[in-house]
């Protein structure tokens, strides 16, 4: 499950940005971009769980 969290957080950040830009709330865009940056940083953290095909081929 951890290997899919990167793509989930990237998609979630895009959805958050769209909602923040489309909403007419005061400071809504700033809050949306802040949450999107947090989601992207979390996605970058979970990239270490994506399997590496090069290492797998060398070990065989």
Strand positions, DSSP E, 1-60: none
Q: Is the dihedral of CA 23, 27, 31, 33 positive or negative?
A: positive
Domain-wise residue ranges, the chain: 2-59
Please list the pLDDT of the chain residue by residue as tens digits (60 residues): 878 899 999 999 999 999 988 888 888 888 999 999 999 999 999 888 878 777 666 665
The reported pLDDT for the residue numbered 43 is 93
Per-residue b/e over 40-53, b at no fewer than 16 CB within 10 Å? bebbeebeeeeeee
pTM of the model: 0.76
Report in angstroms the alpha-carbon separations of 30 from 1, 3, 22, 39, 41. 31, 29, 12, 14, 17
Q: Six-digit token pair at 26?
A: 């005061």
């Amino acid at each position: 499950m951890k290997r899919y969290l990167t793509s989930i957080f990237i998609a979630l950040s895009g959805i958050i940005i769209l909602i923040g830009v489309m909403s007419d709330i005061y400071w809504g865009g700033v809050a949306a971009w802040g949450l999107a940056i947090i989601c992207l940083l979390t996605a970058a953290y979970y990239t270490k769980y994506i399997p590496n095909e090069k290492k797998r081929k060398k070990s065989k």
